[in-house]
Amino acid sequence: MSRPVHVIGASRSDFKRNLRKEGLALADVIVETGRAALADARVEPGDVGAGVVGNFAAGLYTRQLHLGALLVGIDGALRGIPTLHTEAACASGSIAVLTAAQWIAAGLHDLVLVVGAEQQKTMSPAEGSDVLAAAADWQAERPQYGEHMMPKMFARIAAAYAARHGLSDRDLAGVVVKNHAHARRNPLAQRRDAAMTTAMALEACEANPRFAPPLKVSDCSQITDGAAAVVLASERFARRGRSLALLGWGHTTDRLRLDDKDVPAFPLVRRAADRAYAMAGVQPGDLDAAEVHDCFSISELVAYEALGWAEPGGAAALVASGATALPQVRAEAGLGERPARSMPVNTGGGLIADGHPVGATGVRQVAEVFTQGCGEAGDRQVEGARTFMTFNMGGSMTTNVAMIWRAG
């Protein structure tokens, strides 16, 4: 990078909200979180040089596109700035962050506002599931998988993983229980009030059916409304206060169809991670905490191995050791309490328990590590954490974005 890039402010909405029931639209939550992020950064709207909105499917969920223009609603001083909307399925938010970072690194702007947002609670679950299927090759894979296509595709990934390495319900439950334990310490998480024990995650029943074998409903992220925002800046603004520096990134794209990928190794995820590590000059063992894309429990396990944190087949043992849980939740989650090293993952609950408003997720991950880096995470704080990774992906590990951050 030619110029350093910093996060200097962040905001997010409560992911438990239903915007439609509040009489609100996507524009309202974009304005709300964008305005709050600027206030958190202690900058004036007139200082913003450009803006990016990350969103997956507003045109289908709400019939609203041309989303960059919605940023102008934050303040009249933003009228006239360049804006755009990025779309890369569930990686739309991280692509928005990366776009802004590259503008700053290139010297085009000193301050860029990024908002990721999605309003999904606008239609029936079946209709919404078909919208989400657009993250894959809808023409080819919809006839192959049928309704509720994305859970079935990740069930296929789980089956491939099981055939190669072995996989039990308890392995998947470890991720589910850990992330719910983290969410209970996050006052803005969608499932902060939801009980989840190992016994509950293991039991296939009417309340928790095996929706896409071997995955149960508890293994899946939920339909979510919400937004997150971050303010990215050059050193000109970062000197004014707390900041999180972007050390490196990797961005790769695979073929769209799942059958055309190397499952479950996903080497293009590893390539993105390796590029981020190399640019940042760090190794996996240097990370203090991380956010990874757990749209389904199996995706978190696969990510551990593809990102270089566990050997092939070793992800479940890493979870069971307690290494990826906050120390303060290991006992209640039934995980090991004295792992060889500690690197909490998905400290706010991840997609499974914090929520997955698709276009907001990549931005929310950055907002979470910013909060951790500033020491402002409250009951879920990772003590002394300085170096973080965020990994956000779209489709079936199709678009992969890994970023490494260090607290100032």
The predicted-structure confidence for 178-219, as pLDDT tens digits, reads as follows 999 999 999 999 999 999 999 999 999 999 999 999 999 999
Instruction: Quote the strand ranges of 129-280, DSSP E.
Output: 226-233, 244-253
Does residue 111 lie in a domain region?
yes
In a domain, 400, yes or no: no
Is 306 part of a structural domain of the chain? Answer: no
Radius of gyration in angstroms for the set of CA atoms belonging to the chain, rounded to a whole number: 19
Q: Which amino acid is at 70?
A: L
Q: What is the pLDDT of residues 21-62, one digit of tens each?
A: 999 999 999 999 999 999 999 999 999 999 999 999 999 999
Q: Flag whether 51 is in a domain.
A: yes
Closest CA to 344 of 362, 322, 365: 322
180: how many CB neighbours lie within 10 A of its CB? 27
pLDDT tens, position by position, 69-103: 999 999 999 999 999 999 999 999 999 999 999 99
Q: What is the pLDDT at residue 2? A: 84
**Does residue 281 surpass a pLDDT of 90?**
yes
Average pLDDT over residues 392-399: 98
Catalytic residues: 90, 356
- Is residue 396 scored above 80 in pLDDT? yes
Residue 15 lies in a domain: yes
Give domain status of residue 53, yes or no.
yes
What pLDDT is recorded for position 1? 52
C-alpha span between 7 and 42 (Å, rounded): 12
Give the phi and the psi of residue 201 in degrees, each rounded to 5: -70, -25
**Residue 181 belongs to some domain of the structure:** no
Map residue 388 onto helix, strand or coil.
strand
pLDDT tens across 93-146, in order?
A: 999 999 999 999 999 999 999 999 999 999 999 999 999 999 999 999 999 999
User: Quick one: pLDDT at residue 408?
Assistant: 84
CB 288 within 8 A of CB 388: yes
Question: What is the number of domains present in the chain?
Answer: 1
The structure's pTM equals 0.98
What residues make up the domain containing 81? 6-123+224-238
pLDDT value at residue 272: 98
Could you tell me how many helices (H) and strands (E) the chain has, helices first?
Answer: 14, 9
Cα distances (angstroms) measured from residue 384 to each of 120, 342, 374, 403: 36, 12, 10, 20
Q: What is the CATH number of the domain that holds 55?
A: 3.40.47.10
In a domain, 384, yes or no: no
The model's pLDDT over 318-363, given as tens digits with 9 standing for 90+, comes to 999 999 999 999 999 999 999 999 999 999 999 999 999 999 999 9
* 280-305 average pLDDT score: 98
